[in-house]
Chains A and B, each alone.
Chain A
Amino acid sequence: MNKKKLFLIAVSAAAIALAVMLAAGAVVLFLNGSARKAENPMEQIYTREQAAGALAAVAPFFVLFAGLSAAGVILGIKDENRGKQKTTVRRMDKPKHKGLIQAAMAVAAAALIVAGIINGSALDVLIKAITICSECIGLG
């Protein structure tokens, strides 16, 4: 195994270790916080301070990973093997009446947009976009 491959394996391992540490940190915070909340419903599961603490614990892994990645980029080391595979190539047939289909679709799209503005579904889009749905972005 050559030095380049060893280096790539090391960066890969660092990336996985960093991700596992970040995931484990969140799970530990959640389990501890849940236990506290079970005793006192007023308690928060996550707090800003605890989250900062968990991130600080992962910092050495991040520094290691970032350092290795930067070194790899500067030295131009990369996995040369990617993308080299046997491929059966077929040419793309040009669809018949492409221009006509495009025009029909564009007209249909414009008609749908106008219908949407009339029936209020455009307002739907605005209202959902200007309010934060805490559940939808994963806050809770």
Chain B
Amino acid sequence: MDKKHANKSSRRIHRPATRRLVQLYAALLHNAYLRGFLSGEIYQGNAKYACVPGFNCYSCPGAVGACPLGALQNALAATGHRAGWYVLGILMLFGVTLGRTVCGWLCPLGLIQEGLHKIPTLKIKKSRFTRALSWLKYAFLAVFAVAVPLWYGLKYDLPLPAFCKYICPAGTFEGAVGHLANPANASMFSMLGLLFTRKWVILLIIVLACVFCYRGFCRFVCPLGAIYGLFNRFCLVGVSVDAGRCNGCGACVRHCGMDVRRVGDRECIQCGDCMAVCAQGAISVKAGKIVLKGPEGRPEARTREKRRGRALWGIALAVLCFALLWFNFLDPSIPRSSQAGHSWESTAAVGNRVGEQLPDFTLTCYDGSVFRLAETRGKITFINLWSTWCTPCKKELPYFSDLYLAHPDDIAMVIVHPSMVLDSPEDYLSDKGYAMPFATDTEDAVWSAVGGSATLPQTVVLNRNGEVVYNAVGSVTPELLAALYAEADGSAPK
């Protein structure tokens, strides 16, 4: 009898827990644009108006929503133009409804961290030192996610999401590595340099920390967890302790991998794992007054809970199937212009790759002049794609201006803004004094012609015959521009 009972309980241990299934489900729902992993492009539909609750880079090929932390930094950087009420409202809504339940149940990065911690190595124990270290994430929030973006936005009018740029492991892993791993994005290697090397090393340090220390990133670094932690005492869904049953034995706190002092405090990720060790059955996961997961009660209550669980899973799976269908095949808001750029691959002469000729296009510039590509033959042509919300784009504009002034009769140049306009490019340029013409690609003709993507900046250089000698995304330097000019000059005689 005992042996039979032991076998039964060991089978139960190896079954994936409900929380793990929910984490996997949430990770898939956060990244439901599976086509992106094949094509190497990101989802560009309207669902990205909404922020997802968990930490998930919106540049991940599969992401279907905006990262709340990236959105917060960009909103703070844009404070000089408009207050970021929307992101603050969304964060407050997630905070008051879910709090750090997001970390324990929904965050894809939380799932990855827990997976890494399963690797059988020596583990760093929870201690006073790790508790003190848990305050560090508030410093990351204050400095990298709030102060630096706000300062740069107000002082220099440059969007600088410092946490994303210097630290975020999700951006490096899901965004950078996610794109670089796809052969379709081979041209992105041209952008890599010191920044990538630094972020790669930081990613490895964070991964290693998560192997040795339970949720190392979540506990010591994550600014999003820090924000949700502030709401933890007031959130609607979360772990609840029945004060009448609790005898204060502390088994829950000792069992917990996080730096909690009490169940439900700012460090508690509301995972409910402590329910298993509470001999008093005082802990349950509740949504308001509804018990979602509680201590084992009477058989009829358990049957009711099971039935409700099955119904919830049924609804959840239906939502997932619909999301996969919608984001991959049905969503009419996904622009198709970027794919249109590749349709010229079938013709030998016309295209946007090195050695091919760009299809003709015409643009009306802000100064009233008209830029016709066909009329630039005999000159070396530089086409640069930029936007007012792209910091590296803004930084490299002076280099283009200097080059244009150095060869005024030998270079044709146009700097093109996408049709989606947030802040008027003309207003931004009014006091800059750049020499070259600027235009907005109102009909997406240039984007289609040069194979423009969601990645900015992009520079295209044509020789005097109109053949592409360079077409790549990424920042340029004055040295590279000079070298490109020389190469274009040498590839076709005057």
Contacts and interface: CB of A to CB of B under 8 A. Distances in A.
Partners in one complex: yes
Contacts of B121: 8, 11-12, 15, 79
A64 interface: no
Nearest to A5: B122
Given A19-B207, A84-B254, A137-B176, A129 B66 contact: yes
A1 to B, nearest CB: 12
A91 B200 CA distance: 42
A87 B66 contact: no
B196 A109 contact: no
Interface string B221-259: 000000000010111100001010010111001111100
Contacts, number: 312
Contacts of A111: 89
A57 interface: no
Q: Chain A interface secondary structure, helix, strand, loop or mixed?
A: helix
A84 B422 CA distance: 54
Contacts of A69: 119-120
B96 to A, nearest CB: 4
Interface of B: 42-46, 48-49, 51, 57-59, 63, 65-67, 70-71, 74-75, 78, 82-90, 92-93, 95-97, 118-127, 159, 161, 164-165, 168, 171-172, 175-176, 179-180, 186, 188-201, 204-205, 207-208, 211-212, 214, 231, 233-236, 241, 243, 246, 248-250, 253-257, 261-265, 387, 389-392, 420, 422, 453-457, 473-475, 477, 479-480, 482-484, 487
A27 B197 CA distance: 6
A102 B238 CA distance: 13
* Residue of B121, B207, B254 with most chain A CB atoms under a 10 A cut-off: B121
B490 to A, nearest CB: 12
Contact of A44 (B90, B176, B189, B387): B189
B478 to A, nearest CB: 9
Contact of B172 (A8, A12, A48, A138): A138
B480 A139 contact: no
A128 B214 CA distance: 32
Given A83-B255, A109-B90, A139-B188, A41 B483 contact: yes
Contacts of B46: 126
A65 B473 CA distance: 36
Given A44-B189, A131-B454, A92 B66 contact: no
Contacts of A131: 387, 389-390, 454-456
A138 B236 CA distance: 36
A119 B88 CA distance: 13
Nearest to A115: B85
Interface string A11-47: 1100110010011001101100110000011101111
